[in-house]
Amino acid sequence: MTQQSNRTGPSREWLLRMADVEDSCPSVSVGGMACDLDLLAPPHSNGQRIFGRLVEFARRQLGMSVEQLANEADIELSEIVEIEMHDETVPRVRTVFQLAKALKIPEGRLMEVAGLATPRPEISHAALKFAARSESTAKLTFNEREALEEFVKVLVEVSDGGMRD
Partner 1 sequence: MSSFDISIQARASGDFHEATILEGLAPMDLLVVEREWSPERSNLMQELLAAGVDRRKWPQSLHWDWSKKAPALRLLESSGFGLVCEKKWQGVMMTRTASYSARLKADRGKPIVYLDFLEVAPWNWVIQDIHRSGLFRTIGLQLFWRAVQQSLDEGFKGRVGLHSLPRAEDFYRKCGMVEVGHDAAKQDLVYFELTQEGAEKFLADGGYK
- Binding residues (CB under 8 A) for partner 1: these are 1-10, 12, 14-19, 21-40, 42-43, 45, 118, 120-121
- Residue 27 CA to residue 24 CA, distance in Å, equals 9
CB of 55 to partner 1, least distance (A): 21
Residue 4 backbone class (left: φ over 0; alpha: ψ -120 to 50; beta: rest): beta
- The kind and range of the H/E element at 143 are helix 142-160
Cβ distance to partner 1 smaller for residue 42 or 162: 42
Report the nearest approach of partner 1 to the CB of residue 12 (Å).
7
Q: Give the residue with the Cβ less far from partner 1, 77 or 90.
A: 90
CB of 110 to partner 1, least distance (A): 18
- CB-nearer residue toward partner 1: 22 or 149: 22
Q: What does the angle CA 154 – CA 155 – CA 156 come to, to the nearest 5 degrees?
A: 90
Nearest distance, CB of residue 76 and partner 1, angstroms: 27
Q: Give the list of residues 6+ apart from residue 8 with CB closer than 8 angstroms, or none.
A: none
- Kindly tell me which of 66 and 114 has the beta carbon lying closer to partner 1: 114
Q: How many CB atoms lie within 10 A of CB 100?
A: 22
